[in-house]
């Protein structure tokens, strides 16, 4: 796309958008449905519902026709960003495309119609699939003990920390400290607090990696483990990871790896081989489960043999006559949630794993790293790259060059919206001022990436020649730039629909 075309798109007039709420579109008597006449005598109904609180009048729901409902929700959906509509270079989140084939697999009746309370004998196929997912994750991580139990990456962190804590309690050791780099994801210290452990920050060195000397100073006998993201949140591989692992093990401590960035190394190197003792895996990042939206998720954890006895229950056990759930392990930390796993998302990951195979899995990491470095080199002349060397799957740029024209990272992010992109992660990690974290993933084509690079170069030029354009962005959205500080302090989150009454 030429620069002229991009500019024309950004300056186009917005079509009319009806931003009224569905309640404001309500008109007395409008209907999109008809309820059959009640054929249960009122006396009988009252008898059946004895003791149940009955409404004295209908709920205050909007009255709209079918066409109005369809238009309302279709138009709202057009305001959403999604990987199926636009490039989503959200650093640290790995917003890769989820193949439609995965959705086809999970909709197969044998998987779709399972019930979580079914007896083990009636779900042998599901248990076999789940066991294969476990075995695959153990293979790619190099860690023998795997559970699919946790239902998110954050719960995976908490589960692993509780497993670690249970190990030391079982061995009569009082260890309550967890070492965490100051560039870590915010969930790391939060998980420590919930697990009843104390987080101690380790400095980032001038090379963007863990300051190993500072790490060793803080490695006391009270340390239970260190939580390290590798590659780290700057998109750099911790080159001294072996040294860190050896120091921890000599201290009787464990090395935990936050698996958020596993997409950069999957199939290339195994965390267990470079000293990791436990990790969680964000299946929505690396193994194409649905990402976001609050739906069912998964954050399996893999652990070394020492920690395997403490994994949550139930575990899937393979026997001569099939598979079953086992809850008999006395050292287990027990259940972290009601059921064994969110099965539907496991089907999606399994379909993806089988389609890729070993060679395909390795290519995921290779292409993710290639795409990130390609963008880094191309935009490096226009933006400041604080750690400008070969990165992994993502890299961090800053708006340092643009600040002399009064432009900040938030302005660049808002302008990208006008040019048709979801902005990258901004202002994280906190160790870099005005950070712009870009992660293209392996699923984007060179054409898409080239278009994005062109847009970034255009924004750098606009910051110098027409900064007001960036300061006013976005101009192509139904809602213009908000006062974000005021929105955070004085949110207006409720529409008072109670003043509206339904028609008789």
Q: At which residue do the structure tokens 């712009």 appear?
A: 436
Kindly tell me the number of DSSP H helices and DSSP E strands found in the chain: 16, 12
Choose from 81-85, 135-139, 473-477 the range with maximum mean pLDDT: 135-139
Region(s) of the chain under CATH 3.90.1150.10: 358-489
| Tokens standing for residue 64 | 């709209």
**Residue range 464-492: average pLDDT?**
89
How far apart are the C-alpha atoms of 412 and 450, rounded to whole Å? 18
Per-residue pLDDT tens digits for 142-157? 999 999 999 999 999 9
> Does residue 499 have a pLDDT over 60?
no
Q: At which residue do the structure tokens 């027409």 appear?
A: 466
Per-residue pLDDT tens digits for 96-132? 999 999 999 999 999 999 988 899 999 999 999 999 9
**Residue range 154-166: average pLDDT?**
97
**Residue range 59-71: average pLDDT?**
91
Give Cβ neighbours of residue 54 (< 8 Å, ≥ 6 apart). Answer: none
> Does residue 205 have a pLDDT over 50?
yes
Range of lowest pLDDT (8-17, 100-109, 371-380): 8-17
Residues in the chain: 504
How far apart are the C-alpha atoms of 10 and 419, rounded to whole Å? 6
Q: Does domain 145-287+299-340 have CATH number 3.40.605.10?
A: no
Region(s) of the chain under CATH 3.40.640.10: 145-287+299-340
Better pLDDT: 293 or 67:
67
pLDDT at 466: 97
pLDDT at 496: 55
How far apart are the C-alpha atoms of 270 and 358, rounded to whole Å? 13
pLDDT at 485: 86
> Does residue 5 have a pLDDT over 50?
no
Q: At which residue do the structure tokens 């895996």 appear?
A: 281
| Tokens standing for residue 162 | 């509780």
> Does residue 38 have a pLDDT over 50?
yes
Confidence class for position 8, pLDDT limits 50, 70, 90: very low
What is the CATH number assigned to the segment(s) 358-489? 3.90.1150.10
Q: At which residue do the structure tokens 């809850």 appear?
A: 327
pLDDT at 2: 43
Burial class, 402, CB count within 10 angstroms (exposed 0-12 / middle 13-18 / buried 19+): buried
Better pLDDT: 495 or 77:
77
**Residue range 464-491: average pLDDT?**
90
Q: Contact 391/374 with Cβ under 8 angstroms? A: no
> Does residue 406 have a pLDDT over 50?
yes
Q: What is the mean pLDDT of the chain?
A: 91
Q: Contact 302/145 with Cβ under 8 angstroms? A: yes
pLDDT at 10: 45
Give Cβ neighbours of residue 227 (< 8 Å, ≥ 6 apart). Answer: 157, 178, 179, 180, 184, 188, 192, 256, 257, 258
**Residue range 454-462: average pLDDT?**
98
pLDDT at 500: 45
pLDDT at 280: 97
> Does residue 141 have a pLDDT over 70?
yes
> Does residue 3 have a pLDDT over 70?
no
**Residue range 455-463: average pLDDT?**
98
């Amino acid at each position: 796309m030429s620069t002229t075309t991009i500019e024309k798109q950004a300056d186009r007039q917005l079509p009319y958008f009806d931003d009224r709420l569905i309640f404001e579109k309500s008109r007395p008597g409008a209907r999109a449905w008809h309820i059959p006449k009640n054929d249960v005598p009122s006396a009988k109904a009252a008898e059946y519902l004895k003791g149940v609180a009955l409404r004295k009048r209908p709920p205050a729901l909007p009255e709209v026709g079918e066409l109005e409902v369809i238009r309302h929700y279709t138009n709202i959906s057009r305001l959403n960003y999604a990987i199926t509509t636009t490039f989503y270079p959200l650093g640290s989140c790995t917003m890769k495309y989820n193949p439609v084939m995965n959705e086809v697999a999970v909709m197969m009746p044998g998987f779709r119609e399972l019930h979580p309370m079914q007896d083990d004998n009636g779900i042998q196929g599901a248990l076999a699939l789940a066991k294969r997912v476990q075995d695959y994750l153990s293979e790619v991580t190099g860690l023998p003990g795997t559970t699919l139990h946790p239902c998110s990456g954050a719960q995976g962190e908490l589960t692993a920390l509780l497993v670690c804590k249970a190990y030391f309690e079982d061995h009569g050791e009082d260890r309550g400290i967890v070492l965490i780099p100051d560039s870590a994801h915010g969930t790391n210290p939060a998980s420590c607090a919930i697990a009843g452990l104390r987080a101690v920050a380790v400095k980032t060195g001038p090379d963007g990696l863990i300051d190993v000397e500072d790490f060793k100073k803080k490695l006391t006998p009270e340390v239970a483990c260190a939580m390290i993201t590798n590659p780290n949140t700057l998109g750099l591989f911790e080159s001294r990871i072996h040294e860190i692992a050896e120091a921890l093990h000599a201290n009787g401590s464990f090395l935990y790896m936050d698996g958020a960035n596993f997409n950069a190394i999957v199939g290339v190197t195994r965390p267990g081989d470079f000293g990791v003792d436990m990790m969680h895996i964000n299946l929505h990042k690396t193994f194409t489960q649905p990402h976001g939206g609050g739906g069912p998720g998964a954050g399996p954890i893999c652990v070394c043999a020492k920690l395997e006895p403490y994994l949550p229950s139930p575990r899937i056990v393979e026997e001569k006559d099939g598979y079953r759930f086992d809850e008999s392990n006395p050292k287990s930390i027990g259940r972290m949630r009601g059921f064994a796993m969110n099965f539907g998302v496991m089907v999606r990951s399994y379909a993806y794993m089988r389609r890729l195979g070993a060679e395909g899995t390795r290519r995921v990491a290779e292409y993710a790293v290639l795409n990130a470095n390609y963008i880094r080199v191309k935009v490096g002349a226009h933006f400041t790259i604080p750690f400008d060397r070969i990165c992994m799957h993502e890299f961090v740029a800053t708006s340092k060059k643009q600040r002399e024209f009064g432009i900040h990272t938030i302005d660049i992010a808002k302008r990208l919206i006008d040019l048709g992109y979801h902005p990258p992660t901004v202002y994280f990690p906190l160790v870099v001022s005005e950070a712009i974290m870009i992660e293209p993933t392996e699923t984007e084509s060179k054409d898409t990436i080239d278009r994005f690079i062109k847009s970034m170069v255009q924004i750098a030029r606009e910051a110098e020649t027409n900064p007001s354009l960036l300061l006013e962005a976005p101009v192509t959205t139904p809602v213009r730039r908000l006062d974000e500080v005021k929105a955070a302090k004085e949110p207006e989150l409720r529409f008072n629909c109670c003043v509206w009454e339904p028609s008789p």
